[in-house]
Amino acid sequence: MDDITVKPGQGPAFVDAYMKNYVPGATRRGMTLAFRMVGSAQWMRNGEPNPDRILFVWTVPDADAVWVFKFAGRNDPSVLHWWRDQVPNFIVSRTRSIMADVDDLAGLVNV
Amino acid sequence: MTSRGLSMYNWLSVITFPQTLDDADRTATAAKLQALLQELPRVRSTMAMPSPADPFRLNGGDLVCRTVFESRGDYQKAVDSQQGQQVKALLNDQSTAAALNEVGYEGGLSGGAVTSPTIYRVALFCANIEPTRDRLEQFRTETSLMPSYIKTIQRWQLSTLSSQDTARGLHHWTHVWEQEYAELDGLTGTYLFHPDHWAHVDRWFDPEYPEFLVDPVLVNTFCPITTSVILT
């Protein structure tokens, strides 16, 4: 999950850039984009004190698929270019995390 | 349990043979290095073991040499000795080592019990992306906690190199991450596929994360062992 806080007024432009510059490659690396959620359910205008928060939720089927997209990503210079050189123009902060369903945790650690 | 007491000084080389070296020459070179390393003055333990081809490895070389001394001073005396100079000459000879990644380092954080290891794994990292003190400390803490989640890890050690240490090869290496396993599947199965690895600690290695810290060019290799080699 990419949890991204976007500069006020930059929300729509960032989503466009994400869809154009990041999503096609990520999809080729085996990730499936499940949700694009925006808080607070509207775009904040430029000059507003509160920025937009956007969650891009991706899914992969298993741990093998995690390593597949990870290794493909770190061998593709355009991925680093996107996160390091392009994304900072739009955002205040971001986190990325990999999560699993609570019912799957016992199985995941039993490897 | 993690310890940080008096530490040994370690000398590790990951050697890639020239492609022109046949199997007999490789075996002979390994035996020659093993013999020279064993003759080093004040050496505590040594090994020179071939690293088998495996997709888990990255820049894994053909031969892993690891020697342990009581102190940095003992290491320096050993390297300066006649046998040490012969080892250095072999390592620097392109007809012996087409590629070499070499580190000398004081043992760092360590832990785990010695049981019956058959696999030694070592990774060399260069943490060179915004390496602030806080980021390095968090990386060190999280990495050293992996053995508390991944139960196939037996002995382990996470060492940080100083500017006085030897660190050469693909990078000026900053960290050495070592573990011992009872069997290979504990490394290429459990260690690789445990979520503490791919969902947590790998953040420091992944350019898609804001935590990205470690250069993607690293050494990741393993070799068979018959006894524990991580001495503390």
pLDDT per residue over B152-165, tens digit each? 999 999 999 999 99
Contacts of A108 in chain B (CB under 8 A): 194-195
Cis peptide upstream of residue A40 (ω within 30 degrees of 0): yes
Q: How far is A98 from chain B (nearest CA, A)?
A: 5
Contact B70, B6 (CB under 8 A): no
Q: Tell me the pLDDT tens digit for each residue of A58-90.
A: 999 999 999 999 999 999 999 999 999 999 999
Q: Tell me the pLDDT tens digit for each residue of B95-118.
A: 999 999 999 999 999 999 888 999
What gap in Å lies between CA B27 and CA B23, rounded to an integer? Answer: 6
Cβ of B207 within 8 Å of Cβ of A80? The answer is yes
What gap in Å lies between CA B139 and CA B216, rounded to an integer? Answer: 15
Is the residue at B229 inside a domain?
Answer: no
Interface of chain A against chain B, CB under 8 Å? 63-64, 66-67, 70, 73-75, 79-80, 83-84, 93-100, 105, 108-109, 111
Cβ of B199 within 8 Å of Cβ of A96? The answer is no
* Number of domains comprising chain B: 1
Say what the pLDDT of residue B48 is.
Answer: 96
Q: Tell me the pLDDT tens digit for each residue of A13-62.
A: 999 999 999 999 999 999 999 999 999 899 988 888 888 999 999 999 99
Is the residue at B116 inside a domain?
Answer: yes
Q: How far is B154 from chain A (nearest CA, A)?
A: 16
Average pLDDT, chain B: 96
Q: A2-109, what's its fold?
A: Alpha-Beta Plaits (3.30.70)
Residue B4 pLDDT exceeds 80? no
Say what the pLDDT of residue B131 is.
Answer: 98
Closest CA to B8 of B54, B58, B75: B75
B6 falls in which pLDDT band (50, 70, 90)? low
Nearest CA in chain B to A4: B210
Say what the pLDDT of residue A90 is.
Answer: 96
Dihedral of the alpha carbons of A7, A11, A16, A19, in degrees to the nearest 10: 90
With an 8 Å Cβ cutoff, is B55 touching chain A?
Answer: no
Question: Residue B168: which domain range?
Answer: 2-224
Q: Is 0.85 exceeded by the ipTM?
A: yes
Is the residue at B149 inside a domain?
Answer: yes
Say what the pLDDT of residue B162 is.
Answer: 95
Q: For the residues B207-229, what does the mean pLDDT come to?
A: 97
A-B CB pairs within 8 A amount to 52
What gap in Å lies between CA B170 and CA B101, rounded to an integer? Answer: 7
Is the residue at B231 inside a domain?
Answer: no
Q: Specify the CATH number for the domain of residue B99.
A: 3.30.70.100
Q: Structure pTM? A: 0.95
With an 8 Å Cβ cutoff, is B58 touching chain A?
Answer: no
Is the residue at B92 inside a domain?
Answer: yes
Is the residue at B47 inside a domain?
Answer: yes
